[in-house]
Amino acid sequence: MNEILEGLKAASWLVLTFDSDLVEITLRSLQVTLTAVAIASLIGLPLGAWLAVHRFRHRRATIALLNALMGLPPVVVGLVVYLLLSRAGPFGVLDLLFTPTAMILAQIVIVTPLIASISHQAMRDLWASYHDLLISISTRKRQRIATLLWDGRRALITAALAGFGRAIGEVGAIMIVGGNIEHATRVLTTAIALETGKGNFDLALGLGFVLIALAILVNVTTHMIGRTESEGKW
């Protein structure tokens, strides 16, 4: 219990003194995760809507597979991305290993199935009620998807936030592909792992509280901008 209090104290101290290392790794955490979630949303949200609207042969199997991929183990993703980006691997010449870009790539792989699955779930329900209308005014498939995405935007924000939640706290993959290099690829989660290894539990816990506060901040900000839950309407 005492150590948790020490952690809270360390967290407040780091924040109040505006510790430059803390600011740096916090911004990098945000940079990596927000970029990854933005790109994953660009892929996952339309994919989810498309799966809701389009009928094809292996649709059920595709959806089942997508749902299963939500549980993709980050360490395995990290290892595969490492082997691809390694100098000895197929994309070695790009020199991307141990850079924030590599971390973003790994997180995109982890987060896209999650965003696509949640998006598909929401779009399917919406499609059930929009189906007759959109068919009767003879819209094209692209228009249907656009309508669903726009009218379901609140649910899609939730999908993106779920992706953010999974990515911001992730350590296994980015540790492998990023290497936890100080001033280059160190982020909040890898710094927590490092400080735990040194036995500096109060500092590790302090960084943990900063991470939790950051996640809350991003969620609250998103809701404020989207004005969800404020006007009692969609």
Partner 1 sequence: MIRVFALISTLCLTLFASVAQAQTLKLAVTTSFNNSGLSDVLLPAIKQDTGIEVQLLIVGTGQALRLGKAGDVDAILVHSRAAEEAFVAEGYGTYRREIMYNDFVLIGPAEDPAGISGAPTATQALQRIFGQQAVFVSRGDDSGTHKMERTLWTAAGLEPDTFKGWYRPVGAGMGAALNTASGMNAYLMADRASWLNFANKGDLALLYAGDPVLFNQYAFIPVDPARFPHVKNNLVQKLESWLTSERAAGLINGYQINGETLFTFNANPVP
Nearer to partner 1, 15 or 193 (CB): 193
CA distance 102 to 98: 7
Alpha helix stretches (DSSP H) within the chain: 2-16, 20-53, 59-69, 74-85, 100-136, 141-151, 153-168, 172-178, 188-197, 201-226
Binding test (CB under 8 A) with partner 1, winner from 17, 88, 229, 234:
88
Interface stretch with partner 1, choices 70-78, 84-92, 108-116, 165-173 (CB under 8 A) = 84-92
Nearer to partner 1, 50 or 98 (CB): 98
Tokens of 117: 């699955």
* Contact status: 27 vs partner 1 (CB under 8 A): yes
Binding mask 125-154 for partner 1 (x = CB under 8 A): ------------------------------
Binding test (CB under 8 A) with partner 1, winner from 118, 180, 188, 210:
180
Binding test (CB under 8 A) with partner 1, winner from 6, 13, 31, 79:
31
Binding test (CB under 8 A) with partner 1, winner from 197, 229, 230, 231:
197
* Residue 212 vs residues 163, 180, 205: alpha-carbon distances, Å: 15, 20, 10
Reported residue count of the chain is 234
Q: Which candidate, 36, 64, 42, 60, places its Cα nearest to that of 164?
A: 36
Residues that bind partner 1 (rule: CB under 8 A) add up to a total of 31
Helix axes 188-197, 201-226, angle to 10 degrees: 160
Footprint on this chain of partner 1 (rule: CB under 8 A): 27-28, 30-31, 34-35, 38, 86-89, 92, 95, 97-100, 179-184, 194, 196-201, 225
